[in-house]
A = this chain, B = another copy of it.
Amino acid sequence: MKKIKTALISVSDKKNLKQLLNILTKNKVKLISSGGTYKEITNLNYKCLEISKFTGSKEILEGRVKTLHPKIHAGILNKRKNKKHIKDLRDHNFENIDLVIVNFYPFEETLKQTKRHENILEKIDIGGPTLVRAAAKNYNDVTVITSTENYSDLIDEIAKNKGSTSLDFRKKMARLAFSETAYYDSLISNYFNNISKTIFPKKKIINSNLIGKLRYGENPHQEAALYSTNKEFDINKIHGKPLSYNNFNDIFSALKISKSFPKNTGTVIVKHANPCGVSIKKKNIDSFKSALACDPISAFGGVVSCNYKMTKNLANELKKKFFEVIIANGFDKISLRILKKKKNLRLVDISKFHIKDFLNITSFGNNILAQTEDKIKVTKNSLKIVSKRKPSKKELDDMIFAFNTCKYVKSNAIVLASDKSTLGIGSGQPSRLDSCQIAVDKMKKFTKKNYKNEIVAASDAFFPFTDGIEKLIQAGVSAVIQPLGSINDKKIIKFANDTDTILVFSKTRHFRH
């Protein structure tokens, strides 16, 4: 137990001070402060000594140097039981500081408020982190509080221990303190990297805020949590059971796809992080029906992502089936009433969600692979028609749709499509030929409409041989889009021409693992 006799307070966030000052004063703690905090404390009618009076040094450089003083730091850093330290303090007529309450002005807020580099620099706190780090290092003797969220803990601790704090409490607060200073400097570091356009700095620090612990990870024996580099989370669950790790994984996969659609159109159904049906139609309800028709068996228990506002008609369709999660750009009142009847069904409103440009990170042990997002979407202009037979506008549009869908399917990926709807998706195979087979089997199994001569196929990477393309053509595919680059490209073009197939090369590959 350590009695608190003197406290140094310097807070950017001035809320909830009163209760804290109350208990400190009751326990006869001497308060030291400066600037805005000093004003706030005296305004609240508590007695407080100005830091400059405490140190005997004037605050200089417009406040840049006030606490960077031996009297302050010796007061914090001295080991109370060390004879040399006791002597040093006595010789210099210094006194102990037992409690340090400091919070920083959030650097994220600074970045939101101004783009002016000079103003941002000015906001970088030097004295504050030094006080916090010194107090945290010496937590054996000193209590450090770095967030208003811990005020009530401190109040309880002091009340319980009659003006003292326990070692456990101080150690926990020190742990939180170092996470604050690490977080603060990583924001500054990332800011400097951003403005100098350094994507891969020598030391990469990824800072994130706990959004929430999850019940478990991919499997029940794994612990898991969701973090965000933002403090707020813009994926809003408005109904149903808590979202699981696998739900989030599927939601993220689904959002990547549905956010790539034209505004307020298109539906995708995801299962095991892979799309099992994708469709873009003028009528949104048609896009759902088409996405479902692609593989209604896999869709069972899946995640439906609607890139538009949910309305009554679709809600009535959705309620007939079993899905785990339904995502939409908002839900109208009637649709909510319909869907909320399903107690467990998770409804997720993403009308406030914006996909952000951020590095793609995957870890293996202590290794991390970082890459920029796969952002390329092919358009008419980025394609090369290499077959004799030329595609119609519809075929070209369908090929572009199929190829852009490929991007989100785990490699090797084959997507069969017509009318901007998938008819068969072959995913996750080490052999491209097998992915063709799976896509074709799906189509044969579920496609009722006769798409004669209107089916296009997309491959996420080039066909190394003609066997894959042959399998597709045999199944009724009349147009194929694939990246160029195989040593057999010429053979493949010849094969397309021999079979009167449309062949289009893209310059982009879309591996996804």
Contact = CB atoms under 8 A, between A and B. Distances in A.
Nearest to A84: B62
A272 B412 contact: yes
Contacts of A182: 182, 185-186, 188-189, 203, 205
B229 A430 contact: no
Interface in A184-222: 185-186, 188-189, 192-193, 196, 198-211, 213-214, 217-222
Contacts of A124: 133, 137
Given A178-B192, A193-B175, A371 B228 contact: no
A126 interface: yes
Contacts of A58: 92
A329 interface: no
A246 interface: yes
Interface string A31-71: 00000000000000000000000000110111011001110
Interface of A is mostly: mixed
Contacts of A196: 171-172, 175
Interface stretch (A337-345, A431-439, A474-482, A496-504): A431-439
A468 to B, nearest CB: 12
A256 B364 contact: yes
A441 B440 CA distance: 15
Interface string A482-513: 00000000000000000000000000111111
A455 to B, nearest CB: 20
Contacts of A366: 228-230, 356, 358
Interface size class, chain A: 35 or more
B210 A202 contact: yes
A1 interface: no
Given A223-B371, A369-B249, A188 B178 contact: yes
A180 interface: yes
The 8 closest A-B pairs by CB, nearest first: A428-B428, A217-B371, A271-B430, A298-B430, A252-B364, A224-B371, A182-B185, A175-B192
Interface of A: 57-58, 60-62, 64-65, 68-70, 72-74, 77-79, 82, 84-85, 88, 92, 121, 124, 126, 129-130, 133-134, 137, 140, 171-172, 174-176, 178-183, 185-186, 188-189, 192-193, 196, 198-211, 213-214, 217-230, 233, 235, 245-246, 248-249, 252, 255-256, 271-274, 276, 295, 297-299, 302, 355-376, 410-412, 427-431, 433-434, 437-438, 441, 508-513
